[in-house]
Amino acid sequence: MAVFRDVSVPFGGRDYIVTPSNRTLRMIEAKGRRDDPAFNIMAIFYRATMGTGGLNELAFVLAELINSAGGKVTEDDALSEFMSIEKPEDMRAYIELVCSLVVPEPKGDGEKKQEAPQAEK
């Protein structure tokens, strides 16, 4: 059962269907830490959604996610994609879309988790 959902991400004039996985996110994190030992995807996403920076790092993550969906882009291409967005509300929506890629799909329709069976006495 997949925990993450497919997300359509517009990039460079086409849509990429990105299906993140824990493995993909760990690989991105490891690759980011080669250049910066303090690299942390969640911190980058937090700063980006709060509007306090992180766009350069977010471009790296976006490039890696697009490449995981079959693209062949660099982080400079991804930064250029961000910079091509003119309206602040469109930028916020695109950042939120990218950040949504690391949020697992919620389980069910509010179903309660089944209780563990009781041990026999």
The answer as to whether 55 is a domain residue is yes
The pLDDT of residue 108? 57
User: Per-residue pLDDT tens for 79-115?
Assistant: 999 999 999 999 999 999 998 888 766 665 544 444 5
Phi-psi region of 42 (alpha: psi -120 to 50; beta: other; left: phi over 0): alpha
The pLDDT of residue 56? 93
The answer as to whether 113 is a domain residue is no
The answer as to whether 15 is a domain residue is yes
Token pair listed for 52? 């306090």
The answer as to whether 62 is a domain residue is yes
To which residue do tokens 């460079």 refer?
12
Q: Are 95 and 87 in contact (CB under 8 A)?
A: no
pLDDT over threshold 90, residue 59: yes
The answer as to whether 106 is a domain residue is no
The answer as to whether 61 is a domain residue is yes
The pLDDT of residue 104? 66
- The structural domain count of the chain equals 1
- Residue numbers of the domain that contains 57: 7-100
User: Pick from 51, 90, 60: which is nearest to 78 by CA?
Assistant: 60
d(CA 104, CA 102): 6
Q: Are 29 and 40 in contact (CB under 8 A)?
A: yes
User: Per-residue pLDDT tens for 9-35?
Assistant: 999 999 999 988 889 999 999 999 999
- β-pairing verdict for 7-11 and 14-18: antiparallel
